[in-house]
Structure 1
Amino acid sequence: MPTSGTKRSAAAALAALTLVLTAACNSSGEGGKAPTTPSAARADVLAVKIDNVAAARPPTGLEKADIVYVEQVEAGLSRILAAYSSDVPSVIGPVRSARETDLELLRQFDDPTLAYSGAQSALQPSIEAAPLDALPPSKAPNAYFRGGDRAAPHNLYLRPEKIPHAPTGVNAAEDIGLSFAAPPPGGTPVSGRTVSYPSARFTFTWSADEDRWLVSMDGTPARTASGDRLGAATVVLQDVDVQDSRFRDRGGNTSPFSTTVGSGSAAVLRDGKSYDVAWERNTAESVTGFTTEDGEPMTFARGQIWIVLVPK
């Protein structure tokens, strides 16, 4: 069974080899196009911590993220960490504070930028030591603004062009070794799945008409700022250990830490089916691999991926 602790360099080499093979296969011989040279472009990831409580909805720009991570935070609530690379919207938000879980997740990417509203002082040394470009408003005041459509703290937004941060056309998911391809054999047809935290709930409902999983939060259809439904081509429900960290919020609630280094089980939802898979990440510097029951790498439907960290 292949390990999933593949280094970013190995993922990049695999991606380059795939491009070469694809180009060769697409060559039509006489009169056809010559194979193209694989691009050396890499993802340049902008990760944004996004508020998703009822008072912060609808989000702005979330639909453009390559990967949407969902994690548990204090008081049983949830927060979103969105990773952008292939496309970057003009405005993203509302932006909220960073957590320890974010730092471990972002070790999978190569020198990402983390946009966040701030963090408790005890966590700040960990953020500064992490291999990322920390970008709170204090470091880029011109890139943030307060909107007038809702009350603080749910009205802080980021303008990525002011960082500046431009789209690369390279998907952040592919950059860490996730493969967009036809589904594996098997799978169980499902109409939807729900994940519940103590004070938050996410439901993913399959829409054959839209060919994606429509997202609901706390029983309410989740929408974009323009009124369209939020949806995912693939949803990963990743079982993780959630432990109390040494950090607390202003109300004295302990901040949970979701462990994403290690191994465990997951369910991958794509094309109206659920696939039982195993996940593995050997070290913090490794990327997370997902393998089917046959020991083959799991493939993903092209489009946005939601990865929900589900407490065991």
Structure 2
Amino acid sequence: MNQNSEAMKRSRRVTVRIVAAVIPVLLLAACTAEAPRPTASIKPTSTAKAWVSTYTAPAATVLAPLRGTPVPPGSAAHPSLAVKIDNHEAARPQIGLESADIVFEELVEGGITRYVGVWHSDIPKLIGPVRSIRPMDPDIITPFGGIVAYSGGQPQFVKAMEATPVVNAVFDYDRSGLFYRIDTKSSPHNVVVNARTLVGRYPKLAPPRQHFAYAATAASSSAVVDGKAIRTIQTRFSTARWPSWAWNAKANYYLRSQEGAPDRNSKGAQLKATNVVVMRVGIDRRYGDVPKTTMIGSGEAWVSTGGRSLRATWVKRYPSSPISLVDGNGVTIRLAAGNTWIELVPTKQGSVQLVP
């Protein structure tokens, strides 16, 4: 029994040695075995040309501050130019008025109106007829900064305009040829200004800040979203002036008329606007026959875009403040990108009628 046990132990020891010797040999054979070579059937083959992207990144843009339209960076890095424009019958059609970013229409003596046009996005070579400054003009023009051009005015009004941070260019004082009289109109309705030359003289003046809020699309503007469909905007400043605006859906613009007749530019086309803002304003009579539109304060307004009009409130706290437009909930109103006309209609003697 003891012999058999000893023999079994020796047999197990031999078996362990054999297994220990065989395992490394098998492992080595597995590691050094040659990998199978790819067959001809799985070699890569040429099929079509490689795909090449045709995408081109859009050019960078910024918003024109007084129009809300996209423009190339750097193209708006120049000052704005405000000009007092005549609206006497003998002054029509005006020169360059159609390219203004913003136009204010204001009451002056005799019941007629004049304009304060503000140019920045597209400054024409000539603008006119240029007329004199009025007492409300410093409050209208100061927020834009830049330059103002006018023909002169009462000393107290000129002094008030010169007291603002705006650069004054005045026909009465000019000896450099910026202003001159044209032969196609009669005096005093024939003074024009070399607008591009004037702006080019002040390259270091800052561009204007953004004046109004603009929607991303015309369809998302406040008046289109929340307003009512209005076909015609009829305003009356006096018995002598009753301008109106008619929505033209095909052209996608408001078209302007004065005293019942189409109001045309110097090229014969009817004046047009993307946005029409009517502000009801008080008239200060401290200067006798020269009315002063009250621009500091607040009042009722209507904002019209895309054939729809929205009742609003306008607010201007200081002479340097831009005009703020808010809806009935106090939310800032967004205009459509494009030019804007602002009708400063007197509260008492003036009137506004919106015709569906």
- Shorter-chain TM-score: what band? 0.7 to 0.9
Structure 2: which 5+ runs fail to align?
1-54, 63-72, 348-356
Higher strand share: 1
Displacement of 1:259 in angstroms is 1.3
Distance 1:269 1:300 in 2: 9
Indicate the residue corresponding to 1:19 in structure 2: none
Q: Secondary structure at the match of 1:205?
A: strand
Q: TM-score, normalised by structure 2?
A: 0.71
Deviates more, 1:183-192 or 1:206-215: 183-192
C-alpha distance 276-155 of structure 1, shift in aligned 2 (>3 A): same
Instruction: Give, as a single letter, the amino acid of the residue that structure 1 aligns with 2:126.
Output: V
1:212 is the counterpart of 2:250: no
C-alpha distance 122-173 of structure 1, shift in aligned 2 (>3 A): closer
Indicate the residue corresponding to 1:229 in structure 2: 270
Indicate the residue corresponding to 1:267 in structure 2: 302
After superposition, give the CA deviation of every residue in 1:153-176 in whole Å (9 maximum; x if it has no partner).
1111111133243899xxx88722
Contact 2:262 2:270 in 1 (8 A): yes
Contact 2:235 2:345 in 1 (8 A): yes
Tell me the matched-pair count. Answer: 273
1:284 is the counterpart of 2:319: yes
Contact 1:46 1:165 in 2 (8 A): no
C-alpha distance 141-36 of structure 1, shift in aligned 2 (>3 A): closer
Indicate the residue corresponding to 2:226 in structure 1: 186
Indicate the residue corresponding to 2:109 in structure 1: 74
After superposition, give the CA deviation of every residue in 1:162-220 in whole Å (9 maximum; x if it has no partner).
3243899xxx8872243244222221111111111122111101111111110011221
Q: Secondary structure at the match of 1:255?
A: coil
Contact 2:144 2:208 in 1 (8 A): no
Distance 1:60 1:35 in 2: 33
Indicate the residue corresponding to 2:170 in structure 1: 136
Higher helix share: 2
Distance 2:281 2:263 in 1: 25
Report % sequence identity: 31
After superposition, give the CA deviation of every residue in 1:2-56 in whole Å (9 maximum; x if it has no partner).
xxxxxxxxxxxxxxxxxxxxxxxxxxxxx67499596575561100111111111
- Indicate the structure whose relative CO is greater, using CA pairs within 8 Å and at least 6 residues apart: 1
Indicate the residue corresponding to 1:90 in structure 2: 125
Distance 2:273 2:84 in 1: 18
C-alpha distance 37-285 of structure 1, shift in aligned 2 (>3 A): same
Distance 2:141 2:300 in 1: 20
Structure 1: which 5+ runs fail to align?
1-30, 249-253
Pairing of 1:15-30 with structure 2 (within 5 A):
none
Q: CA RMSD in A?
A: 2.5
Selected match of 1:201 from 230, 242, 262: 242
Selected match of 2:280 from 226, 236, 239: 239
Deviates more, 1:75-84 or 1:289-298: 289-298
C-alpha distance 86-32 of structure 1, shift in aligned 2 (>3 A): same
Q: Point out 4+ residue stretches in structure 1 off by more than 4 angstroms.
A: 34-43
Selected match of 2:210 from 175, 192, 198: 175
Q: TM-score, normalised by structure 1?
A: 0.81
Contact 2:144 2:209 in 1 (8 A): no
